[in-house]
Amino acid sequence: MDSYEQSQGKRSIGHFLEKNVFLVLFIHEVRSGFKNPLQKGWIAGILFLGSLFTLGSRNLEAVSALLVLFIFFGSVVTLVLSSSSISGEIDEIADSLLSKSVKRWEYVLSKFTSHVVIVVTVYVMVVLLQVGILWRLHFLPESLDYGNLSFFIMIVGLVLVFFSSVGVLFSSLFSRTVLSLLAGFIVWFLLVFLFLATGWNFMYSPVEIFEHFLPILEGSWDVEYWKILLFYTGSSCISCFVSLLWFYQRDL
Amino acid sequence: MNSVIETRFLTKIFNQKTIAVNDLFLTVPENSIYGFLGPNGAGKTTTIKLILGLIRPSAGFVRIFGTLMGMDSSDVRRRIGYLPTQPKFPNTMTPITYLDFIGKVFGLPRQVRIPRITELIRSVDLLPLSSSEIKRFSTGEITRVAMAACLINDPELLVLDEPTLGLDPIGRASTVKLITELGNREGKTVFVSSHILADIERFCTHVGIINSGKLIFDGTITEVKKLIRTNSVELQVEGETGSFISEVKAIPHITNVQSFKHGIKIGIDPQHYSETLLDIFRVLTEKNLELISLSLGSESLEEAFLDLLEEEKSHGFLRAISRKA
């Protein structure tokens, strides 16, 4: 392919990106998301703590410590960031955008996808970086099943996606960010803190999942994983669907 | 003449409690500058949001360019430029990045978008601020960015919600000038809401007056003034006024003459307004009186507006009953 064809190819991709309103909104949201001071602080904090864990433990415990941070603090950061995504823009930028050639589904879906992409990108990059360093320096046990580790990492990722979706859902349901934040925290409390504080067993709770970190790596936790996967993916999809339905009913 | 905006039976009730817009029949002709007047809380912004499809009507419908407006009518919105009241922007954006983003939202290709952004930034006088973050801008500067954003798609219809609100006299004058220029361009229709009557009087060709969600007048500026013409003339003259008054009283079609400390108010039969006015001037010349000031019996738009609101208050119920009948 000569340079002319390459430039034509690039132009057509760029042209497609610029013509597609959903993609324009999505790229804008992702850029703004990464520019958010809380997001920047979280990335800096998690990288710093991740390196401390890696240098301190120099074994699998470093990974589990990092995953704990994502489950307990990452979920809160995700909730806070996504809870203002729509409610924070009503009567402001949302009106401005939706009075232009933006369809409501494009607006809501761009919020969902961008938040999910941001949370997954940050999570995957940090965890992969840490696991990569530990693996390269031969700090991980030779008997470690990387398939099971990837599976566990994936479940924690789904937990983060779930909280991100819940945040966007509540931000579309409520007009005030305070209310959407409050609703998000209630879900976080019921699913995470309650089981952490009481020690009750509930297989869908991230606390319960984390308590079975080693059994999952060994493949000895006797549960139907598909139910956990369905719970988190299904809830996220339902959140997205409900948000869309609700947003089509609401007045701006 | 084709209508660009057409509303029929348009009604909005919020939470089954507040009637914001009540049975609105509005017609905005093509190539007009339509002033949408009303006191605060009259339902102007709600009407605009209904027109743009941002809120769902409780009853009735809106047609723009002959197409029914809905929540996802993005094709129609491509032809509209909207300036909200006190516009808000993403904090970290500059006028250039914001206009580029809005241009992309409208699907403008780069070859069209970039030159247009440059042209708009120049025309709204934002060149020195083009790379500063919008969050540091004054109200006037923010309005100029919003005005540029609402023009980026070269819209056929401009919907401006209180464009001069919060602006200083200079900002207000330049916005009024811009709206007048836009309205004079071929193929552009401007729908502008305001409660600043002086602005409306200055640039609008048509007026709609809304009060408590109800349209109480819809017509041209001249029609609104004619409607409330007092059919009187006030003169301030220097010299012997006694004989002038007695001769004026003798002119046919003069309904009454009142003398005040600093002037004379003469009532005229509206059927013979112009000819009677000439007779008064004839007497004035014959008596060799010096005319100090003259006030014709046409009120300012502000007075007309207040009269209409007052009339609506006292006769609104009767009008509603008679219309249903």
Which residues, given as ranges, of chain B have pLDDT below 70? 1, 225-230, 297-304, 307, 312-325
Residues B174-199: tens digit of each pLDDT: 888 888 888 887 778 999 998 777 77
Indicate the angle between helix axes A177-188 and A75-83, nearest 10 degrees. Answer: 160
Q: Pick from B88, B99, B113 the residue to mutate for testing the A interface (most A CBs within 10 Å).
A: B88
Q: Is residue B320 part of a domain?
A: no
Q: Residue A104: which of B52, B72, B110 has the nearest Cβ?
A: B72
DSSP B270: G
In a domain, B311, yes or no: no
Enter the tokens of residue B136.
Answer: 């540091």
Check A101 against B49: CB less than 8 A apart: no
Q: Is B39 in the same domain as B185?
A: yes
Q: Do A99 and B55 touch (CB under 8 A)?
A: no
Domain CATH code at residue B93: 3.40.50.300
Last residue of one domain, picked from the residues B198, B226, B254: B226
Q: Structural domain tally of chain B?
A: 2
Chain A environment of B71 (Cβ under 8 Å): 104, 248
B24 with B162, same domain: the answer is yes
Domain presence at residue B325: no
Please report the pLDDT score of residue B325 as a whole number.
Answer: 39
pLDDT attached to residue B324: 44
CB–CB contact B55 A24 (8 Å):
no
Most confident of A1-10, A76-85, B300-309: A76-85
Asked if residue B97 and residue B184 are part of one domain, the reply reads yes
Q: What average pLDDT does the segment A160-187 reach?
A: 94
Query: Which of A99, A106, A245 best tests the B interface by mutation, with the highest count of B CBs <10 A?
Result: A99
Q: How confident is the model at residue A169 (pLDDT cuts 50, 70, 90)?
A: very high
Instruction: Give the pLDDT confidence score for residue B228 in this predicted structure.
Output: 58
Please give the residue that has the higher pLDDT: either A66 or B312: A66
Q: How far is A193 from chain B (nearest CA, A)?
A: 34
Question: Which of B226, B251, B272 finishes a domain?
Answer: B226
- B221 lies in the same domain as B238: no
- Which pLDDT score is estimated for B291? 85
- Give the model's pLDDT for residue B159: 94
Instruction: Tell which of B11, B74, B79 to mutate to test the A interface (max A CBs under 10 Å).
Output: B74
Q: B287 and B250, same structural domain?
A: yes
Whether A237 shows a pLDDT value over 90: the answer reads yes
Q: Closest approach of chain A CAs to the CA of B47, in angstroms?
A: 12
Distances (CA, A) of A79 to A189, B57, B88: 12, 33, 24
Q: Do B135 and B283 have their domain in common?
A: no
- Same-domain check for residues B45 and B158: yes
Q: Report whether A63 contacts A131 (CB < 8 A).
A: yes
The rounded mean pLDDT for chain A is: 88
pLDDT for res B318: 55
- Residue A86 DSSP one-character state: T
Asked whether residue B300 is domain-assigned, the answer is no
* Short-list B53, B15, B20, CA closest to B215: B20
Lowest mean pLDDT among A12-26, A180-194, B20-34, B269-283: A12-26
Residue bearing tokens 């309205």: B183
- The interface pTM score, or ipTM, of the predicted complex is 0.84
Alpha-carbon distance of A92 to A176, in angstroms, equals: 12
Digit-coded pLDDT (tens) for B128-137:
988 899 988 8
Q: Are B88 and A93 within 8 A, CB to CB? A: yes
| Residues of chain A contacting residue B82, judged by C-beta atoms under 8 Å apart | 96, 99-100
The string of DSSP codes covering A191-208 is IIIHHHHH----TTSHHH
Based on the fold, state whether residues B118 and B86 are members of the same structural domain: yes
Per DSSP, the three-state class of B82 is: strand
Ramachandran quadrant class, B240 (left: phi over 0; alpha: psi -120 to 50; beta: rest): beta
Q: Which residue has the higher pLDDT, A116 or B274?
A: A116
Query: Residue B279: which H helix or E strand, with range?
Result: helix B273-286
Residue B105 CA from chain centroid, whole number: 29
> Does residue B7 lie in a domain region?
yes
Sign of the dihedral defined by the CA atoms of residues A17, A23, A26, A28, in that order: positive
Within-domain flag for B131: yes
Quote the CA–CA distance of B273 and A26 in Å, as a whole number.
Answer: 65
pLDDT reported for residue B38: 86
Question: What phi and psi values does residue B61 have, to the nearest 5 degrees?
Answer: -150, 165
Are both B65 and B116 inside the same structural domain? Answer: yes
Which residues constitute the domain of residue B45? 3-226
B38/B44 Cα distance (integer angstroms) = 7
CATH number for B290? 3.30.70.100
Contact A15 B49 (CB under 8 A): no
Element (H, E) at B214: strand B214-220
Task: Report, as an integer, the average pLDDT of A116-122.
Answer: 96
Contact at CB, B107 and A32, closer than 8 angstroms:
no
Q: Is the pLDDT of residue A114 over 80?
A: yes
Residues of A in Cβ contact (< 8 Å) with B133: none
